[in-house]
Each structure stands twice: as C-alpha cells, then as structure tokens.
Structure 1
Amino acid sequence: MTPLLIGPHRVDPPVVLAPMAGITNVAFRQLCREQGGGLYVCEMITTRALVERNPKTFKMIAFAGDERPRSLQLYGVDPDVTAAAVRMVVQENLADHVDLNFGCPVPKVTRKGGGAALPWRRRLFARLVRAAVDAAEGAVPVTIKMRKGIDDDHLTYVEAGLAAQDAGVAAVALHARTAAQRYSGTADWEAIATLKQALDVPVLGNGDIWEAEDALRMVAETGADGVVVGRGCLGRPWLFADLEAAFAGRPARKLPSLGEVAGVLRRHAELLTDTFGSERDACVDIRKHVAWYLKGFPVGAELRRSLAMVSSLTELDDLLGKLDADEPFPLDTLGQPRGRTNAPGKVHLPDGWLASRDTDVVPEGAEVENSGG
C-alpha cells in the first residue's frame, strides 16, 4: 500500500495510537513505541488550558527526547482560542503535529457543543478547522479525528471531511460510530470506505481493531490509508509489534506468557515512575491497567485485588512474583473487545443545538472551563 504521509511525516507502519484520556501519557507511549513503529498521540489537551499555561496541561504535553514526530491532540470549540493554541504550539515548538478532536462523546464535552457534537454546526466547524490550519502556517500538519455524527439521524462525517479537506488538513480519521453509540455495538467500516471515496487526503479508520488481522482487513475492505488503534492496545502494548509485522507481511504474532506480561506491566510501572517522579503516583496510575494486562489469565481474585491496590514497586514485584510465569496466553481473549464497552445513550447537547446547522456562534460558556487537559 502507499506509504502514509501526515504532512512531511512518514508513518510506517500506517498505525496511529488514539489519544485516550488518562492512558496515553508519555510513559504509555514509550512502552508502545518500544514494541513497534507508528504515530503516538498524547492525551487530549484543552485549547483554553494550553493558552492559559495551566501547569497540569504542560506536564501532560511532555514528550520523550527521542519521540518524533511529537503528536498533540487539541480540543476546543472557539476558533480564536484554537488558533491561539496552535500558534503557541508552532512558536514554542511544542509538537510536530496537531490533531483536532471532534470525536469525544463524553457528556461534559458534547453539552458544551464540543467533540462529536461540533460538526453538526457546519459553519462553526469549518471556521475552527480553517483557523487551526491557518495558525499552523504550514509549520506543522493539522489533522482531525471525528465520529460519523451525533446519531443515525444526524450524520455529518462526509460533509465534515470535505470541509476539513477544503480547510487544508493533512488527513482525516473516522471512528466509525456515532456519538450516541459511544463504545457500544460494531463499528461501521462501510462509513470509512464511503469517506475514503469522497476525499483526496489520507483517511484513517478507527473502530474494532482488536488484532493485527483486523487492521489488515479494515484497510483491504475500506481502502483506508491507515488505522487508528484505541482500546485494542489496553493491557496489550505488544499489539503494535503485531501491527508492524502484519503490515510488513510477516506472520509473527506475540502471544506472551503470564511471566512475559508481568515483565511488560513492570516496565510500564517503571516508565510511569520516571514520568511522575513519584513511585507512589506511578503505582496509583498502574492500578487501572492491571485488569487489562491480566484479562483472560487464571489469576485469583485476591491477587488481582492486591495488584489493583499496589502502592510501591517493591510491593508490585512481590505480587508479580506470585503469578504463574509459565501460564500461556489465553487464546480465547483474541479478537475480544477491551476497555469501555458501554451501552448506547442520549447525546447531551446545548439547548437548541440541533435547530440550526448554519450558525457559527460559539456556544456560551464553551471555553470557560480550564480543566488542565
């Protein structure tokens, strides 16, 4: 397949780590980069928090010294604030690539008109994307990640993709679900194929890539130029080794024993310690990953519980030492969903949001919150 280019950056293999809040910090990205190539995106950052130099936000946009290209995802609703954030990225050399979030379905985001809600307001959407591209002045490529629409009655992905292309984005990624689906059901890969046929810029597909074979199948079925991997790598950073092998035509796949998984988990905790500068903070963060790493392995409830409450690396080592290192990888978990698999739900929107598509007025209060990321 044709090499994936995001502006001047060649992404080989054509694999992107999706930004995931509380997950894709510099430690997790390094862990994944140690497994295989690709483009690794940091956690979503709010434009307002960046412009106001929120200390927490600046910690979140840390990159490893050898991390190139440095990929940053911004969330914003106000074109002026978004432009200011992108200018700041360029002028202060904070990143080599900027992605704009139009895919988040979380109520606190959509009820302000942001994330997956914003493309419905097509003039505001186009103005925001163009403001970001113009502010980048060609110094860094700008891309977008979006969903199919708010729900099946309010689909926007083709129109939004064309508008983003007209604004000058370098690529468009589509999570082939609606905001109302959240993370439920099955991703609609036909929508990825439809978008690919409509656009000239590279199109990346996202949704239900649990194994390397899923990525190959998505590309073959949709014509996508690359894939975006989110929940599939939770507790399985070696998925990126499988993806690199698959796109190179190699059949090798990693099926680590429980002892090998424990080693990866320990490495993750070490990297988190380096990131946070605190062993305890690192152990608090690793707790949420434990169930993902151990998924499908026969590990007793008490040991699982203890690992999910770990507070030091010494304690972690002691608990990992109690695992059966020779236990083979549970093959029945292959191809199974990981992470959030919640039910469909109502999308929370600002009052009157669906009544008009053509206003480009920024919703009141949309940029007030300074969340620190």
Structure 2
Amino acid sequence: MPTPTTTLPGPLRLGGLTVETPVVLAPMAGITNAAYRRLCAEHGAGLYVCEMITSRGLVEGDRHTLDMLVFDDAEQVRSVQLYGTDPTYVARATEILCADHGVAHVDLNFGCPVPKVTRKGGGGALPWKRGLLADILEGAVTAAARYGVPVTMKTRLGLDRDHLTYLDAGRIAQETGVAAIALHGRTVAQAYSGQADWDAIGELVASVDIPVLGNGDIWEAADAVRMVEQTGAAGVVVGRGCLGRPWLFRDLAAVFAGQEGATLPRLGEVSAMMRRHAELLSRHMGEERGCREFRKHVSWYLKGFAVGGDRRRALGLIDTLAELDALLADLDADEPYPVSELGAPRGRQGSPRGRVVLPEGWLDDTDGRSTVLVETADEATGG
C-alpha cells in the first residue's frame, strides 16, 4: 500500500491530453449520451466519456452503434469507451474513432459484469486471458498513436476473490503503452453489490508507474478526496453517484481545487436541472423521444424529496416539455435537499452472483491468444 497522499492530485495527464480536474464520468449505457455529458460539463470539469460502443458494430457500420456516437456542439474533448474481444476489430475501431470522428481519448472496457457479455469472454472476464488482453491493448495503442490519441482501460479486481486479475492487468497495460488504468474496486461476481475495495486500488497504484484512477463508492465529493488520499490514485471515475445529481461535478471540481464542495440544491433548483436535462435530450433526439428518454431519470432527481407518488408517476409518463413544465411548476421550490440521502448508494446494486458465467473451459489457461471469441455488433452495457 502506498503512503496516503498529503495533497490532492493535480491535472490528469493522458499522453498529450490534460484533464485539469482529475475526474472522469464513467460511461453508462442509456445514460451518458451527448445530452447528459453536456449537462454534467455545465456543472463542473473533467473528462466525460460517451456511452460504450462495440468495436465490431463500429467497423461494420451498425446503425445503432453510429446513433450512439453523437457529440454535442459544446463538447471540446471527445471521449469514447470501446468494447471488444477481437484484437483486429478493436484496433480498426480505434482507428475509425480517431480518423473519422475526431475522438481525443479512447477507453477500453474490461470491467462489464453482465452475464451476456462475460459468457462470451468479454468485459470483466477478458483480463483472465493475459495474452489476449495484451494483444488487444497493443493493437489499440498502436492504432491510436498514429493520431496522438491516448488509450486507457477500465477493469475490475478479477472474476472473483479466487481469480484476481487487476495486478497483471496493470502490468500489461503499462507494458503495452496504455496511458492510464481505471480500477473498479469490485470483482465481476460482486457486480454492483457490497463495498468497493479501495485497498486494492492502492495496491495497483504501488505496482505501476502509469496513472491509476479509482472507481467505486464515490457518492459525494468528500468520498473522492478520501479515495485519493487513501490510495494515492491520480484521479477518480464517477458513475452511479451522479445519477440525478449532475451538480456532483461542481462539488468535485471545487474539492480538487482545495475548496468546499457540498451543494445542497432546493427542489426548485433540482427542477431547473431536470428541465435543462429534458431540453438537451429533446435537442439531440427530438422532443417526443427526448422526453421519453428523460423519464428514467425522474426517480433519481427526486430521490428523498417529499414528492407524492401520483406526481412522480405523471413525471414518468411525459411526452412533451410542456407537460414537464406544468408538473414541475406545482412542486415546492423551497423544499430543502434531503440530507438523509447524502452518501447513500444510487442506481443499481443487486446481490452478488453465485458464479460468473464464462465460456466453457475459460479458466483452463491464462493466455487466450488462440481463443476464438464471438463478438456481436449490438452489445451495449457498462462496467
């Protein structure tokens, strides 16, 4: 374990890319689209990563994949997370992102715990195959280097406590030229349950020379400070903690600048953020689809507020911005923020899985270079 830091980390440097506030928005399927990325950026500073796309989908020009690869006009740094299990597809997809879409940062997903992904050897299952992992990383780094674009990776502790991979993954990342590695302090078997192991993040920091970003259980800005002080991480990755709370990035920017960061917006301020979110979604998707996409966010924004069930249900059924305006207008704008929600988990949690679903014979060796994996064009998830 490294000695805890006495000062907070400065800007995050990924190759030639500098992120002034060392905070990364974790890609989340159906959440971190162009609208939400802009909303978060309007509140703070950091690196905001697009929803994960599949390498094969991009290479083959899949319509759904291309529809996800959308950027806001105000998005100055285009960042995309890529999923793949085939080194050739991942390398080609990386090149397409850099050459055709102006992407300035590519992140590779090796952390997804979803069974439909792990049963094909993807996501959090893939780092068990050290040789395959090295081939994928080397191909992506080589492709991106032609355009001066840094490649990072995200992973988990391992399949379960008996099959840990994070230290080997860090070594391989460093050897293949990866600019930084983000570690979610849970195993694939844990999924999103239990508590993240920050000690393991510290162990990874001590074992590599490249920047390590810590991920897991950052619900408030103070949690980010505790994580980097405890682990020596170069920055943090924030996922579920910002659901319905885009102002968290304001707080994070403040604490990394050495200031107080504890925004407690009244319900009227939250309503204004809800309206802005729906407006941005409508601008990118059209009003009807944008409002429908917004529905899933209502419960996160209103978590803990004394808003009745009928009003919540009505907000979860809106089709137009006018409907949203009418419903928001009736809320008590002066209601204070529910402080009981501070530090509480948000989003999915669930229970640990009894076993990780893997391809037959997956654990038999740790090389995997000769393993043939089926990569489909339509997988979309997060890690």
Verify the 8 A CA contact 1:25 1:60 in the aligned structure 2. Answer: yes
CA deviations over 1:41-67 (Å, ceiling 9, x no partner):
000000000001112222211112231
Q: Secondary structure at the match of 2:244?
A: coil
How far apart are 1:361 and its partner, in Å?
2.5
1:183 aligns with 2:212: no
- What corresponds to 1:122 in structure 2? 130
CA positional deviation for 1:94: 3.4
Q: Give the TM-score normalised by the residue count of structure 1.
A: 0.97
Greater Cα offset, 195-204 or 54-63: 54-63
In structure 1, which of residues 248, 253, 260 is the aligned counterpart of residue 262 of structure 2? 253
Following TM superposition, by how much is the alpha carbon of 1:138 offset from its aligned partner in structure 2, in angstroms?
Answer: 4.5
Cα deviation, 1:318-344, whole Å, max 9, x if unaligned, reads 111121111000000000000001100
Give the Cα–Cα distance (whole angstroms) in 2 for the partners of residues 372 and 186 of structure 1: 25
Look up the match of 1:312.
320
* Cross-structure match for 2:3: none
**Is 2:31 the counterpart of 1:23?**
yes
The answer to whether the 8 A contact 1:206-1:227 is kept is yes
How do residues 283-302 of structure 1 correspond to structure 2 at under 5 angstroms? 283-302=291-310
Residue-by-residue CA offset, 1:251-292 (whole Å, 9 max, x unaligned): 14211101110110000000000111x211111111110000
Which residue of the partner structure matches residue 9 of structure 1? 17
User: What SS does the aligned partner of 2:183 have?
Assistant: strand
Deviation at 1:372, TM superposition (A): 7.5
**Uncovered stretches (5+) of structure 2, i.e. residues with no partner:** 1-8
Q: CA deviation at 1:219?
A: 0.5
CA contact (8 A) 1:78 1:362 kept: no
| Structure 2 equivalent of residue 195 of structure 1 | 204
2:329 equivalent among 316, 321, 327:
321
**Could you report, residue by residue, the CA deviation over 1:132-162 in whole angstroms, capped at 9, with x for unpaired residues?**
1111125210000000001000000000110
> 1:171 corresponds to which residue?
180
Q: Match of 1:30, SS?
A: helix
Q: Take 2:115 and 2:175, find their aligned partners in 1: how far apart are those partners?
A: 29
Per-residue CA distance 1:303-332 (angstroms, 9 max, x = gap): 111111111111111111121111000000
Match of 1:238 among 216, 238, 247: 247
Q: Number of residue pairs matched?
A: 371
1:238 partner amino acid: W
The secondary structure found in structure 1 opposite 2:117 is: helix
Q: CA RMSD in A?
A: 1.2
Aligned partners of 1:96 and 1:141 also within 8 Å: yes
Contact 2:10 2:21 in 1 (8 A): no
Counterpart for residue 271 of structure 1: 280
1:37 aligns with one of 45, 66, 72: 45
How high is the sequence identity, in percent, across the aligned residues? 58
Residue type of the partner of 1:71? S
Deviations 1:104-143, CA, capped at 9 Å, x for gaps:
0011111110000000011111111111111112521000
Structure 1 residue corresponding to 2:115, chosen from 99, 103, 107: 107
8 A Cα contact 2:179 2:211, kept in partner: yes
Distance 2:244 2:368 in 1: 43
Picking from 202, 208, 214, the partner of 2:217 is 208
Give yes or no for contact 1:144–1:171 (8 Å, CA) kept in 2: yes
Q: Is the 8 A contact 2:52 2:380 kept in 1?
A: no
Query: 1:154 aligns to what?
Result: 163
User: 1:359 maps to what in 2?
Assistant: 368
The two structures have a TM-score, normalised by structure 2, of 0.95
| Corresponding position of 2:344 | 336
- Which has the larger displacement, 311-320 or 221-230? 311-320
Q: 8 Å contact 1:350–1:363 — kept in the other structure?
A: no
Matching residue's letter, 1:165: Q
State the distance in 2 between where 1:33 and 1:152 align: 36
